[in-house]
Each structure stands twice: as structure tokens, then as C-alpha cells.
Structure 1
Amino acid sequence: MHFSGTADYVATGDLAIAVNAAIRLERPLLVKGEPGTGKTELAVQVARSLGLPLLEWSVKSTTRAQQGLYEYDAVSRLRDSQLGDARVHDISNYIRRGKLWQAFAAEERVVLLIDEIDKADIEFPNDLLQELDRMEFHVYETGETVRARKRPIVIITSNNEKDLPDAFLRRCFFHYIRFPDAETLARIVDVHFPGIKPELVRAALTRFFEVRETPGLKKKPSTSEVLDWLKLLVAEDLAPADLQASPRDALPRLHGALLKNEQDVHLFERLAFMARRNG
């Protein structure tokens, strides 16, 4: 199995190397990077490129590691026992399979995405150490051991909101998706907007990087946000000249697609005020 990107996803050389190395090592691929740089989409495109099913486990602040294995629905069993349901005699009727169990039980190899693992409690990664390492776990209620029929390709994403345990990191192959340079970003734009006017792309990316590199910016706009912005520019049929910054108005056109908090909007308004004051 070899991943090199798809028609819908521009994978840089180092990213493709990381994916293929994780597959060969049979270790989870831990992907970090700014929000909006395509970490989640990577798993979708790896599955598409290799022709494998995709299972997605979206982690939240309340997610427990046990939920990825299975959950025992004791409340339903108690209710059924009160109703005289014969199903209560088989406890397996009340075991709900999690995403890891589904991946382990799959007849063919799958891609398992554990998305935004850093949202959960700090103990969450530690609670999955043995299961991801040995590709098996024990179901205490039924006494069975679940082993992976085909070792899944595991892709784990993190927005770096909190540090992950060293023991967990040791078991992963790590890759940080750097923000794309202008050339790579232009290739990404071409994938999403085939046939777009090159002059508009050049003007938009020049303006975008000016915004992104503005000192004091609280949240830098991401790849997904520049794509949203370009979609609006095309829909409004704006010309490259419409995107040029002027001292009177430092905010970019349709800036709501790029600037996502009032502090950054006020920053550009102050820059415009200072530019006008200085003549």
C-alpha cells in the first residue's frame, strides 16, 4: 500500500513519506498542525487512495477511551428484565461496539480516524496504549478477547491544545503539517477551483499572506478559510484590483471569511487609522 495524495488532496512529499512510514511500521500516525490545515481530511483521502473503508471517531471533551472499545448498557438490561424480555439472559445483547471494536472486527483492513484526541482528558491517550499497541482488548462482561482480524491504519489528529503523554507518543509515528507555502497553496487552490483566473489567485494569495503575517494577529487564517474566501471572491466576481490593500481600508474584502474574532478586526481598523493619521 502506497499513498501519494489524490486528485482532491495535495500531499506534500514529507506528508506522503510519513503516511507510508506509519503504514509500514504498523503504528498509529499522529498528525498535528494548525486548525484548518487538512488533518482530518488526510484520513479521508488516505482511505480513498488505498480503497479502504473509513471509520471516524470524533473525540469530545466528555469522550472516554472505553467508549472506543465498547459500552455495557446496564440500564436497558434492567428495563428489559422488568418487562420480562428474554434478551436479558444474553448479556451480549447489551454490549455496544465502539469504533475500535468495529475496526478490529472488520473483514477487510480499514482506516481508523481518531480525530482531535487532545480534546479529551489527559488520561484518554494512556487508556488506549495497550489496545493500539497489541490490537486487542478484553470484554469483561462476556469474557471474550477481541483481536484485530486485519490491523487497521490508525490516523490520530491533534490541534496541540494539550501535551500528550510520552508513553503514547513513543508508540506513534509523528508528523506536523506545516502551513503551506505560496506555491503549495496555489496547487491546493487549483484542485478546489479548476479554471479560476490566475491573476485573481495571485492577488488573493498575496493579500492573504499579508493578512496572515500581520503582527499581533490573534488567530491566523488557515487553508480552509482561504478556500472559503476564494469561493466568495469568485461568487462576487471581484477583480484582482479589488483586493489590493489601501491605507483608508486595511480590512480585506469579505474579511469575515478570514478574520474570526473582534480583536483581529479591531487590529486592522487601528492599522487603517494609523495609516490615515500618518498621511
Structure 2
Amino acid sequence: MSDAVFRGSDRYIATPDLLLSVNAALRLQKPLLIKGEPGTGKTLLAEEVARALDRPLFQWHVKSTTRAQQGLCEYDAVSRLRDGQLGEARVADIGHYIVQGVLWQAFECEQPAVLLIDEIDKADIEFPNDLLRELDRMSFSVYETRQIITARHRPLVIITSNNEKELPDAFLRRCFFHYIRFPDTDTLRRIVAVHHPDAQQRLVDAALRQFDTLRQIGGLKKKPGTSELIDWLTLLMAESIAPEQLDAAAGEMPPYVGALLKNEQDTGLLQRLLQMQQQRR
């Protein structure tokens, strides 16, 4: 069992239940599956855990075309064919053409590492099942060379999901699960203070009021998250928007709304709601 303890960091506001989950995964030596709205800091968590524990970080950002084998290793047949045509002596050793994947790199790290498998739900439904054995046993075989690669130290595996598709039950049983709830107002203030320590408190309060009003609108395709709030405040501060201007603009389209709403359906919905409010007055 691991003796490492994550207590948060100066750059990442972690709630007590999130700290508990990270440390439970460390203690149990199980993958930590993190779900939550986009923009709630799932990916950043792995970076900050690695920094706080002084561990190397290996990142595997999953796409729709990603295959589980790519995280282990791949055989570069094209390079071997080209070297063979050029008469290279190294072509006789197939090991020269085995490309190490992120899991292999993490397994061979000389110290305990943090391994991030980011947005696992983007891949094919079989992707998580294809990693069950490797994540359980912390080892895998390289078919081409008959090697067995075994982890020198069991890494802390942090897996993120945006809930785009359900994950297999067999995979879920092997994980410690945590859902990052959207931060309450007090936690948002603490997050803002990390990114904008010099922000005027009255501006932050006015921005949070408008931000909360936006998030309460029913029917939004994508609610603004913490990352959007930070970007929006960056713009407000850069343009010296006064708190009074924000308060006066309540009931109107917020300045720099493109930092908060990311598609035409949501901006159109907001425009219609504002027009309806004006007509009632």
C-alpha cells in the first residue's frame, strides 16, 4: 500500500471529499475514475496530484480513434520496411521498431508515477475492457519480442470521463469513483482567488452573480464552467470593467459573452429570454 498523501496544492482547490477519494485510490492502489461537468478540473487534478506528490506525470489523451494497444506499444512496420530497403543493419532486430506507449513508459519509470487516461469515454466502448488485465496486473506482453513488461512501481492511475457513454461494469468494479460536483459560490471564490489574486472583490461578486444567473437558465446546451468563468474575469479585468457596469448590465447580454457561452443555440436562447423580459417591463 502507498504511504503518499495528497493534501491539495496552492494552485488547485480540492474539496474534502475529492481529497478523500484521491487518497483512497492511493491507499487501495486502484485507478481513480473522475467524472463531472467539463471545466470542473478533472484533467488538472492529475497534474496537481503529480506536482504535489513530486511524481512524474504521464498523460494519455484519448480520442475517438484511440485503441488500447496504442497505450502499450505499437510495431512500426513502415519504418522497418524502409530501413530494409535501405540495407540498414538494425532491421534484423525487431525491437528497434517497437514504439513504447504511455502505459509502458509509466510502468518502467524508476519512481512511482501518476498516469492520466483522459476522457476515456471518447473511445470505442471496448476500449476500457481492453485495458482491464493490464491495469489489474500492471503488466503486459509484447507479442513481437515476447517480452513481459511489468511495472516497477504501481502508478496512481487517474481516469477522467465526461459521461459521453456508459463505461462497462467490469471496468467500473476495478475503480474508485468520484464525481466532481460543480463548485458552490464560496468554492468558486477560492478558485478565482487562485487565478486572479488581485481581482477586486466587488467585481468578482458582480461577475459571480451574472455567472450564476446564466447557469440557472434551463435548456442551455453547455453551461459555462469554471474555466469559462476564469477566462471571462480575465477579459473583464483587462478591459477595466467596473462592478457597477456589470450590475447595470444585468438583464442585458453580458460583455464578452463568447467567453461564457460556446455555441449559437445558447446565445440565441439567452437573447430570446432577455427580449421576453424587456417586453414584460
TM norm. shorter chain > 0.5: yes
Corresponding position of 1:251: 253
1:21-55 per-residue CA deviation (whole Å, 9 max, x = no partner) reads: 00000011010111111000000000000001111
Given candidates 257, 265, 273, the residue that maps to 1:271 is 273
Given candidates 75, 82, 85, the residue that maps to 1:82 is 85
Residue type at the aligned position of 2:247: Q
1:229-268 per-residue CA deviation (whole Å, 9 max, x = no partner) reads: 0001111111111112657x53112111101111111112
Residue type at the aligned position of 1:97: Q
Q: Shift in Å at residue 276 of structure 1?
A: 2.1
> 2: distance between equivalents of 1:100 and 1:126?
15
> 2: distance between equivalents of 1:270 and 1:83?
66
Instruction: Find the residue that maps to 2:149 and give its secondary structure.
Output: strand
Percent identity of the aligned residues?
Answer: 65
Residue type at the aligned position of 1:11: A
> 2: distance between equivalents of 1:245 and 1:86?
75
1:70-128 per-residue CA deviation (whole Å, 9 max, x = no partner) reads: 00111211222222211111110000000000011111111111111111111000000
Residue type at the aligned position of 1:273: Q
Structure 2 gap ranges (5+)? none
Corresponding position of 1:158: 161
Q: Shift in Å at residue 6 of structure 1?
A: 0.4
After superposition, the CA RMSD in angstroms is: 1.1
Matched, 1:61 2:64: yes
> 2: distance between equivalents of 1:216 and 1:109?
45
Aligned residues: 278
> 2: distance between equivalents of 1:262 and 1:34?
20
> 2: distance between equivalents of 1:2 and 1:64?
32
> 2: distance between equivalents of 1:29 and 1:102?
19
Matched, 1:130 2:119: no
Residue type at the aligned position of 1:263: Q
Instruction: Find the residue that maps to 1:145 and give its secondary structure.
Output: strand
Question: Any conservation in 2 of the 1:129–1:168 contact (CA below 8 Å)?
Answer: yes
Matched, 1:35 2:1: no
Residue type at the aligned position of 2:274: A
Corresponding position of 2:7: 4
> 2: distance between equivalents of 1:66 and 1:218?
34
> 2: distance between equivalents of 1:92 and 1:127?
23
Q: Shift in Å at residue 203 of structure 1?
A: 0.8
Corresponding position of 1:215: 218
> 2: distance between equivalents of 1:185 and 1:173?
26
> 2: distance between equivalents of 1:148 and 1:203?
51
Given candidates 206, 209, 217, the residue that maps to 1:206 is 209
Instruction: Find the residue that maps to 2:60 and give its secondary structure.
Output: strand
Using the size of structure 1 for normalisation, the TM-score is: 0.97
CA separation of 1:18 and 1:245: change in aligned 2, threshold 3 A: farther
Corresponding position of 1:191: 194
Residue type at the aligned position of 1:272: L
Instruction: Find the residue that maps to 2:63 and give its secondary structure.
Output: coil
Structure 1 gap ranges (5+)? none
> 2: distance between equivalents of 1:278 and 1:74?
69
In the TM superposition, 1:98-113 aligns within 5 A as 98-113=101-116
Question: Any conservation in 2 of the 1:221–1:258 contact (CA below 8 Å)?
Answer: yes
